[in-house]
Structure 1
């Protein structure tokens, strides 16, 4: 033990005597291990940890399906949910939750709360408990029972100061008194969505056609998902036969609960982990090259030690110890760096991660970092250690201390490491190029609406204060006029579902009594909406004051729906039915990419708000300058009409549009940043190798210059070596990139994985960096003094 400690002290002492080498190596290792540890800490918290529920392996998600639909809708109706539970022996518990908006009024300002409406047994199915009070009982779900609510843990802390005496108090929810019966425990998964403020028993929406529940079920002991799925298929077939109007083509698909919750995040997180893994490989190759150069510089030392009886094993042990000291020091710094990088990753990821707030550098993450350190030490030491087998140490001793930089073995090994760095860097740069190309093309897509200098906000009207359509319509009209009259506002309008906001209201379309077989998005619009967003009318007329509640039902359709329903004739004057109501088409509008530039234009049908008055509406204003500067005036106007109405989801349309592209932007920035780091490491590795070779060939260059060779020929020699190495690396990297690019296919918009522009640009960038990295060693070769070089030899 004492001997090992002595060798370790000597290793540290040797590294301290060469601080530049040591600091560069430690910083490089810290960057590589820090990036990998940070991404792994996110992967571990989000994907690898067991779900925080009782017996999580028995939890499954139930997704509603429809024949002909490429993806499950994900939602079920309450009656279907009850029938599935009753008719499936393999499921012992099943519950559902639907989110809605409610105004919560207590001692503070009105809160536009997100309410989770749950079916009986939902909390018991998932395994959630109350930290104060109780959860809803069966009696609380009866329509005649007094209204009760359960506070979300975050609401309890932020709104009520985590007071235990809040249980039993009365608040107002949508203008109705409700008793707080409990506080739900903290759920790090935030299922079914982040931001639920209160939980309430579901007492309505009992129609089979009202599909709005996200379902979760618990399997019986020793029952597999496949067995439970077979039982559910039998029940679904029976419901299709008994209720053809509502359940035709409907079914349910079971998925593992953890996959349903974390599934959308798997591919992006593993992409990040793969990219940081490539950076780690480049770092290992770079460190190996630095150690190779250091080994060559210590050729005389190794020769003397070999002459004194030191074997190759002892020399390799010293190299391994020095590498271990460097890697452990860099790893320790990398772990500290990883804590900051992980927080930054979670903060900047566009979609909040499930359990993102639990990301930390725990024991498992530290274990991963130590394992990476061990692998890095072995990989980085391998080639220098093998070089000791190739080196004839007694010959080195006779050489009088001359550097072995010109050794063919060491030159070949260093060149191979540089080629590997260039190849791996090529994979990252090509990936970044493809993602950047995809993002640029996405940014150029016209969404069909004007977004600059537009501010939007949503209002939800309590039914108790606004029980009739006329009451709601009166407020909407007054508010629209008051907003349009504000100084700095050019136009104002209102719509039930705002483009780019993610909301939708879709139903089947019927033409002449026959189903069209498509679902159309329905929107109710007020005066000024189309003008505010610059949505052009292509044919027919728009809505006017005469299209009120007493007038015949009229609608506008977008050009996509008009072409689908009436491909060879005009849509004007045709009849169309949706949500059980028939309308006359009076106009055709240009299409809007409602769900963002990456999604196709949906089929849309618009109705005047006077004929379809919703208890919620989103208002949009066009301003002369910064729209957020008018937010205080907008709030004042709303409160002058109703002081208990909070503004919901306030955002500019530019912000909403940017949000629809945030995933593509984040991936391009992440891979681009890592490719930049890879380029810097590869350039440093190439520069270091060439500088090492130029130093070792100083005598050769001196002789050549003494014999009449000019500096330009020597520069061409060094640059040619750099171009050759870079060319080999790029050839390998190109092959690797073509294979790896398939993994990016799901992340690309209107961009092929074989896009030639991305590949050519990447190859050009890498070759320019290679030439730039070689330029300084090349100039040094041209400035070699022949006399001095020969005198040193």
Structure 2
């Protein structure tokens, strides 16, 4: 112990004596350790930390989707686990108190909270049977809604509030950290299981199901029982189900299912910062080697006085670990700032984002990483310094004639830095090219000067389809003539708005393949001015007329992609389709340009086969056989959008004071939000790549600067014998060129092998994109040459007489 304390005290004195070296090394390590700790805080909070529920290891997800009727059967028949179902993303109006607001809610089976093992902070959870038809007029509030809307009033328990025009009794308030299934959830409402209602029970609301394994049950046993149930449940449906439905159902840990969409992206970011740390380690190792060359005489004297080689290595490693520890402490400050930046940069719907923070796991990670880093960058310099012969060191007077071995090591480290930086920059370059392609996609509409808002009457109000339609017609009529409004239209599903509306469609003279049902279409109910207001081109035929909003004669418009798929080689105008279970055929009157309705990479989800527009009318029913009550109004404006927002809110309030107006935003903002996930990933990779490039160039500069200092006499002799300054310049640049060429070659080869993991994040380019590889090679080579120029220019200014006199 005394020996260790002595080593620490001596190491502190040495680091204090070389403040410039210590500062540069600490800052380099702080960047590497801080970046790794910040990204690890994401990985820890999202992927590693246990779910905040009782015995989270028992919680599972059934990786299939089931309608309510099938869930009820599962609840009755499955014995390996207790199951619960939920349907998130539903929206409800809260009225009867001040201004109406639109809430995001999740419909849940009565046992959901008991399956998760949580209890409300106030009140109670749903009791068995309180999700049955006629017994489900209850609601549980989120903690945030309770605070914001009800001023943390504890007497809210047992009181009735008005949701969607119906009275519901408040049973409980959840704790502030309960965010299932997402942070957006503000209320939980019973699922309303009514097996007598066949369409409601079997044709809509295909829901995810979670479960809690019963004691002694394994995942394999639960999966086997679910597969057995799957083979039998199809017989319960009132109609034949396709063979592909839930064909690969199994049971998985709930946490894995919750974070599956972000796992790859987080591991990519973690890999990027690991590369940065390796570059930082190589940088500091180079600094240590240069410093060791200066300390050769000191080490030789210690050896002469009886210090063993192991003792010298221990001393030097103590300095390295101490230096890395200081870098790690500084890195925690960097990580703290980095976590704040990451939480604001990532999309707000990132799962478990609120769980990301600096906790004991992150501190332990940073501590372990600091220790490991100190050993990594300190081992090679310590071994090299202790290897020199005592008599040789003493005779050299500390001038370091054992340069050749250490120089080769320094050169290898510089090449490694360039290679690692090249690999990371290629990944960033691919993401930049992909994001550029994504941001230049034609979405199929013109987003400029279009303001949209969600207008949502209560379902009870729209149970009378005529009354609902009259409300929207009045709204359009009044807003059309408002100042700054050039056009207005309604649509049930806004492009890129995050919602999906679908209907099974029958096509005249089209027969589905054997074992398949009628194709599923994306269905948009729109008013007559929609295509003009949104700037959607009509490629053939015409738009809807004002008279067609009554539903007679029934008409439809399909997209170009749909026309190519179902009417290849011919114009579908005049053909006939109908929504499943409609009595009358609809005549196709037009073909519209493809619109990116789902996201920027696809017009529609893969499981949907086409897109159909129908006039908003009493016959434009969704899967629930009801006319859409929730519509989005699109306004093409010529003035300040905030002014239009105020006019819209006043107009809606005058028509019906219980109808909230929500999600007011421009279409430009909608498109930007659709780009947010690839934008955040790309920006983080670009930041890391830039940091890697800077560290790599600093490493090359350091190696060449040391090379010039050690070859001052040689350069002086060359110049005394007639060498020109340009010859000296080329001598140094040639060394730098070797580093650059070798590093770029190794880096590009590594990138070719590694970046295939990026393929799922790329759009419009391949992982072997030649433009990216050539551009990265050129940029790194030019910047490397710039890093080489400063020490080369210093070499050109060597005075031959002074250099010879030094000898």
* TM-score, normalised relative to structure 1: 0.95
Segments of structure 2 that go 5 or more residues without pairing to the other structure are: 195-199, 513-517, 621-626
Change (3 A) 1:654 1:550: closer
Whether 2:133 is the aligned partner of 1:143: answer yes
Offset, 1:330 = 1.0
- Secondary structure at 2:589 match in 1: strand
Q: How does 1:380-529 map to 2 (within 5 A)?
A: 380-404=377-401, 407-512=403-508, 515-516=511-512, 517-529=518-530
Whether 2:201 is the aligned partner of 1:212: answer no
Offset, 1:566 = 2.0
- Residue 232 of structure 1 aligns with which residue? 226
Deviations 1:687-735 (A, max 9, x none): 0110101011001111111111111101100000000111111111122
Q: How does 1:248-647 map to 2 (within 5 A)?
A: 248-249=242-243, 250-251=245-246, 252-404=249-401, 407-512=403-508, 515-516=511-512, 517-549=518-550, 551-581=552-582, 582-600=585-603, 603-610=610-617, 611-612=619-620, 613-647=627-661
In the alignment, the residues of structure 1 paired with residue 6 and residue 225 of structure 2 have an alpha-carbon distance, to the nearest angstrom, of 69
Deviations 1:400-423 (A, max 9, x none): 33245x710111010011011011
Offset, 1:150 = 0.9
Change (3 A) 1:215 1:408: same
Deviations 1:146-167 (A, max 9, x none): 7221111221232223332221
Offset, 1:98 = 4.2
Whether the aligned pair in 1 keeps the contact of 2:86 and 2:106 (CA below 8 Å) is: no
Whether 2:188 is the aligned partner of 1:199: answer yes
- Secondary structure at 1:592 match in 2: coil
Which of the residues 671, 675, 678 maps onto 1:664?
678
Offset, 1:782 = 0.8
- Residue 515 of structure 2 aligns with which residue? none
In the alignment, the residues of structure 1 paired with residue 233 and residue 3 of structure 2 have an alpha-carbon distance, to the nearest angstrom, of 78
Whether the aligned pair in 1 keeps the contact of 2:457 and 2:630 (CA below 8 Å) is: yes
Whether the aligned pair in 2 keeps the contact of 1:83 and 1:235 (CA below 8 Å) is: no
Whether the aligned pair in 1 keeps the contact of 2:556 and 2:586 (CA below 8 Å) is: yes
Offset, 1:349 = 0.8
Whether 2:30 is the aligned partner of 1:36: answer no
Whether the aligned pair in 1 keeps the contact of 2:594 and 2:603 (CA below 8 Å) is: no
Whether the aligned pair in 2 keeps the contact of 1:97 and 1:119 (CA below 8 Å) is: no
Segments of structure 1 that go 5 or more residues without pairing to the other structure are: 65-74
Deviations 1:330-360 (A, max 9, x none): 1101012111211211221125333322222
Segment drifting more, 609-618 vs 4-13: 4-13
Offset, 1:220 = 2.8
Offset, 1:304 = 2.4
Change (3 A) 1:754 1:99: closer
- Secondary structure at 2:239 match in 1: helix
- Residue 67 of structure 1 aligns with which residue? none
- Residue 71 of structure 1 aligns with which residue? none
Q: How does 1:48-127 map to 2 (within 5 A)?
A: 48-64=48-64, 75-105=65-95, 107-127=97-117
In the alignment, the residues of structure 2 paired with residue 746 and residue 382 of structure 1 have an alpha-carbon distance, to the nearest angstrom, of 39
Segment drifting more, 321-330 vs 424-433: 321-330
- Secondary structure at 2:202 match in 1: coil
Whether the aligned pair in 1 keeps the contact of 2:131 and 2:193 (CA below 8 Å) is: no
- Secondary structure at 2:519 match in 1: strand
Whether the aligned pair in 2 keeps the contact of 1:239 and 1:247 (CA below 8 Å) is: no
- Secondary structure at 1:208 match in 2: helix
- Secondary structure at 1:140 match in 2: coil
Q: How does 1:173-188 map to 2 (within 5 A)?
A: 173-188=163-178
In the alignment, the residues of structure 1 paired with residue 775 and residue 551 of structure 2 have an alpha-carbon distance, to the nearest angstrom, of 63
**Count of residues in Structure 1 that have an aligned counterpart in Structure 2:** 781
In the alignment, the residues of structure 1 paired with residue 217 and residue 510 of structure 2 have an alpha-carbon distance, to the nearest angstrom, of 43
* TM-score, normalised relative to structure 2: 0.93
Offset, 1:34 = 0.3
In the alignment, the residues of structure 1 paired with residue 292 and residue 164 of structure 2 have an alpha-carbon distance, to the nearest angstrom, of 76
- Secondary structure at 1:129 match in 2: coil
Segment drifting more, 622-631 vs 575-584: 622-631
Offset, 1:256 = 2.3
Change (3 A) 1:616 1:28: same
Whether the aligned pair in 1 keeps the contact of 2:299 and 2:386 (CA below 8 Å) is: no
Offset, 1:511 = 2.0
Change (3 A) 1:164 1:502: same
Deviations 1:621-662 (A, max 9, x none): 111245345322222222222223221222211111112222
Deviations 1:241-262 (A, max 9, x none): 3436263433354332111101
Whether the aligned pair in 1 keeps the contact of 2:457 and 2:658 (CA below 8 Å) is: no
Change (3 A) 1:756 1:10: same
Deviations 1:24-48 (A, max 9, x none): 1111111000000111111111111
Which of the residues 688, 692, 698 maps onto 1:678?
692
Offset, 1:365 = 1.3
Segment drifting more, 383-392 vs 771-780: 383-392
In the alignment, the residues of structure 2 paired with residue 61 and residue 9 of structure 1 have an alpha-carbon distance, to the nearest angstrom, of 56
In the alignment, the residues of structure 2 paired with residue 246 and residue 340 of structure 1 have an alpha-carbon distance, to the nearest angstrom, of 56
Which of the residues 216, 237, 241 maps onto 1:222?
216
In the alignment, the residues of structure 1 paired with residue 485 and residue 250 of structure 2 have an alpha-carbon distance, to the nearest angstrom, of 49
CA-atom RMSD in angstroms: 2.0
Segment drifting more, 352-361 vs 430-439: 352-361
Whether the aligned pair in 1 keeps the contact of 2:415 and 2:740 (CA below 8 Å) is: yes
In the alignment, the residues of structure 2 paired with residue 634 and residue 785 of structure 1 have an alpha-carbon distance, to the nearest angstrom, of 79
Segment drifting more, 146-155 vs 255-264: 146-155
In the alignment, the residues of structure 2 paired with residue 442 and residue 259 of structure 1 have an alpha-carbon distance, to the nearest angstrom, of 29
Segment drifting more, 5-14 vs 24-33: 5-14
Offset, 1:79 = 0.7
Segment drifting more, 215-224 vs 10-19: 215-224
In the alignment, the residues of structure 2 paired with residue 419 and residue 216 of structure 1 have an alpha-carbon distance, to the nearest angstrom, of 51
- Secondary structure at 1:115 match in 2: strand
Which of the residues 702, 705, 711 maps onto 1:697?
711
Offset, 1:224 = 3.1
- Residue 772 of structure 1 aligns with which residue? 786
- Residue 157 of structure 1 aligns with which residue? 147
In the alignment, the residues of structure 2 paired with residue 7 and residue 567 of structure 1 have an alpha-carbon distance, to the nearest angstrom, of 81
Offset, 1:108 = 4.1
In the alignment, the residues of structure 1 paired with residue 223 and residue 15 of structure 2 have an alpha-carbon distance, to the nearest angstrom, of 63
Whether the aligned pair in 2 keeps the contact of 1:312 and 1:388 (CA below 8 Å) is: no
- Secondary structure at 2:682 match in 1: helix
Deviations 1:564-606 (A, max 9, x none): 2222433222221223224222222111111122114562111
Segment drifting more, 427-436 vs 220-229: 220-229
Change (3 A) 1:467 1:142: same
In the alignment, the residues of structure 2 paired with residue 667 and residue 54 of structure 1 have an alpha-carbon distance, to the nearest angstrom, of 33
- Secondary structure at 1:35 match in 2: helix
